[in-house]
Amino acid sequence: MKGRFCGLVWRWLCWGMLCLLLASPLVALAQFRDSAPIVVDGRRIFNVSQSGEYSAKQRAEEANRLLRETLRELPLSPAVRVDYSQEIPVIRLNGNAHLLSVTAEDAPQGRTVQEQAEIWVQTLQTALAQAERERQPDYLIQALVLSLVYAGLAIAASWGLGWLWHRWLKPRWESEPVSGEEPVTVGLQTAAQQPIQAETGARVLLTLGRAGVWLSVLVSILELFPQTRQWSRFFVDIVVNSLFSDLFSLGDSAYSVLDLILLLALLAALIVAARSLKKGLQSRILRLTGLSRAAQETIAIIANYTFILIGAIVLLQLWGLDISSLTVFAGVLGVGIGLGIQGIAKEFVSGLVLMFERPIQVGDFVEVGGLMGTVERISVRSTEIRTLDHISVILPNSRFLEAEVINWSHNTSVSRLRIPVGVAYGSNPNTVRSVLLAAAREQKDVLSAPSPRVFFLGFGENALNFDLLVWIGEPRKQFQIKSDLYFAIEALLRQHELHVPFPQRDLHLRSGSLEVSPQLVAALAELAASFARWSRSQPTNPKPEPN
């Protein structure tokens, strides 16, 4: 129990950290939305802000163009200085080339523009010196070695993720039983109800993890070389811009791809948390209440969907979406339900009826549409039945409300079986009755109360017809019980020299003379004479002469 609790706490901590990581780029985006970077060899060294009629992007583009032209002249060491001859400090490059003017908007609170200009000059000098150093042969050789090391680390990380999947995650899913199942059916449930969705999601995460490793290594290798660093920055800028740019608007707010990804991730975390809550509610709380399995399942399902509904509303509000703006979508959704998704709405309503009216419950043995099996799960759209062949059949909920359903476990699981038996004429009915009752008493699955009974139905065409009526407590085992009873009855009948007849028919023939009319005799005589005349008129084939 302690290990499960620790695992649950660890899972919640992981999801919380993931949500914080997903939310952190939004803070960074808010900080740099109104600024533009100054770049040296693909490295952002500082940001400039809007100044007067010049936007931050315009100021940065002009300064970056001049820096790129200067870098082409390396190894000539460029000179950077601050010019205080004008109203505001001006950073000049290689003498009198105007690089950047430092305004009050560029200086943070508590720092003068002169101090900010000196800081930027020192930063530029350091960046230009580093750019000159990175163009030396020694650095290029070192970068090439680091590239090979990064590639090796990527191979090791990719292999490690695969090893983690095959040696730890996959065996854990294959061996973990479904919570809440009876011990008798745990093995079958594990084989048939494998968490396929979780396994598929883990495979997708494995693929994304490997792709992320290789993309990170590729970007890191491109970052090592000043000639290719712009490519990595270009790739990163494309990704960042595609994530942060506005994709659509709802009401007065605009949302980007990152906002949508964040919402989907939070909703996925909500669904996982709801499933964990459902399992914990079933295994740790409802199991201790003494309620039936069906009642536990119903309460857990209602709690699960209630948690998801309330959590989704809270997440949408925290995400910044005005719920009142969804009235139009609610109207469109209503029209869609009325026109395009009538079947889904029908199954949803049927599922609610099944959950609250409870004509069938989880664990009931039912027969519907020629299918017989145990109800394993009832959801808002469908019901899962496990047949006697241990095959899971998913049926729409409406089938249980529109068609005739035989519920062998409704109110009570005790049911009666009828075993018809026929014996040959001449058998003692009292002996037959004793034999049938003895066969019923031998079976451990046949209830002693109500006691088995034998009825003499009457005289059939070929046999004396009897009915053996027995009561059982497990309807799902009725076919096995019938088979065992027939085996026992046949053995006892053979032991008491009682025979089971087979269908037969008796044909009686009566001997005597058959009277024939004179007209028929004359017609037959004339027919015989005509045949004789025709035979004599036929030519005789001569025998061939020997050679």
Residue 107: inside a domain: yes
What's the CATH code of the domain at 471? Answer: 3.30.70.100
Q: Are residues 85 and 169 in the same domain?
A: no
Same domain for 429 and 400?
no
Interatomic CA distance for residues 153 and 255, integer angstroms: 37
Q: Of the candidates 441, 547, 426, 440, which has an alpha carbon nearest to the alpha carbon of residue 497?
A: 426
- Domain finish residue from 114, 135, 156: 135
Report in angstroms the alpha-carbon separations of 129 from 41, 48, 80, 117, 229: 11, 21, 11, 18, 16
pLDDT profile of the chain (547 residues), mean per 10: 44 48 44 71 84 82 84 71 85 82 85 88 86 84 89 89 76 51 38 54 77 85 80 75 73 76 87 88 79 73 86 82 66 66 70 77 86 85 86 86 83 87 91 93 89 92 91 88 92 90 73 75 86 77 55
| 512 touches 487 (CB < 8 A) | no
Which of 444, 436, 438 is closest to 477 using CA atoms?
A: 444
Judgement on whether residues 362 and 378 belong to the same structural domain of the protein: yes
246 inside domain: no
Shared domain check, 468 and 425: yes
Note the pLDDT tens digit of each residue in 439-457: 999 988 899 888 999 999 9
Q: Is residue 271 part of a domain?
A: no
Residue 290 lies in a domain: no
Residues 110 and 40 in one domain: yes
Shared domain check, 44 and 122: yes
23, part of any domain: no
Q: Is residue 543 part of a domain?
A: no
> Residue 330's pLDDT is what?
67
Q: What is the pLDDT of residue 186?
A: 35
Domain span including residue 97: 35-135
Q: What is the CATH number of the domain that holds 398?
A: 2.30.30.60
Output the pLDDT for position 527.
Answer: 87
Residue 177: CB atoms within 10 A of its CB come to 13
pLDDT in the model for residue 468: 93
Q: How many CA atoms lie within 13 A of 544 on its CB side?
A: 2
User: Is residue 124 located within the same domain as residue 169?
Assistant: no
> Does 400 share its domain with 421?
no
Rounded Cα–Cα distance for residues 91 and 117 (Å): 7
Last residue of a domain, one of 225, 255, 286: 225
If we measure between CA atoms, which residue out of 264, 305, 340, 382 comes closest to residue 18? 264
Residues 121 and 157 in one domain: no
Q: Is residue 266 part of a domain?
A: no
Dihedrals φ, ψ of 396, to 5°? -60, 145
Pair 386, 423 in one domain: no
pLDDT on residue 55: 85
How far is 514 from 531, CA to CA, in rounded Å? Answer: 26
Q: Does residue 267 sit within a domain?
A: no
Q: Are residues 40 and 94 in the same domain?
A: yes
DSSP assignment string, 194-242: --HHHHHHHHHHHHHHHHHHHHHHHHHHHHHSTTTHHHHHHHHHHHHHH
pLDDT at 287: 78
Q: Which amino acid is it at 370?
A: G
- pLDDT at residue 231, rounded to an integer: 78
For the chain, what is the domain count? 4
